[in-house]
Amino acid sequence: MPKTFTFPQDLLDAQVALDETRAAFEEYAQTLPWSAEPMPGWEGDKQLHSSYRSHKEDSPGYTEEQAAEVQRFQDELRQLSITVSTHPFWDTVDAGDRVEARMTLKHAHEPAEA
């Protein structure tokens, strides 16, 4: 039977913020050019037994605003990760149970299965 953990609200909130920020960053990153710096595009060799040829269009690189937004996301994700991983709660969990507790925390915001 899995163990139950009573997480403090500030730790639960930090985990939710981390998940939401990561999701927002991944969504934002999909709108960015494939390279942060201007780079020429390329076309790969034709794949054997296929007409598929991998390629990338030229990348204009990130604008100053895009680079600043990426940095903002990275800073926020780093801070939230530190908040979650160094929370005093972890000192109250037996060392052998910390991985299970961490996995439980990652899913604590999900609705319970019926």
Assigned domain for 52 exists: no
Looking at residue 104, what is its pLDDT? 95
Assigned domain for 79 exists: yes
Looking at residue 21, what is its pLDDT? 98
Number of domains composing the chain: 1
pTM of the model: 0.85
Mean pLDDT of 73-91: 98
Assigned domain for 83 exists: yes
Assigned domain for 82 exists: yes
Reduced to 3 states (helix: H, G, I; strand: E, B; else coil), residue 6 is: coil
Q: What percent of the chain has pLDDT over 90?
A: 78
Mean pLDDT of 24-44: 95
Alpha helices by DSSP H, 1-114? 9-29, 64-85, 98-106
Model confidence over 39-66: pLDDT tens digits?
999 888 887 888 888 889 999 999 999 9
With 70 as the cut, is the pLDDT of residue 114 above it? no
Assigned domain for 41 exists: no
Model confidence over 1-18: pLDDT tens digits?
678 999 999 999 999 999
CA distances from 100 to 33, 49, 62 (A): 38, 46, 40
Range of the structural domain that residue 94 is part of: 9-34+62-106
Q: What are the tokens at 76?
A: 């926020």
Assigned domain for 90 exists: yes
- Share the mean pLDDT of the chain: 93
Q: Which are the contacts of 8, defined by CB distance < 8 A and separation ≥ 6?
A: 87, 89
- Residue 25: which pLDDT band, with cuts at 50, 70 and 90? very high
Assigned domain for 24 exists: yes
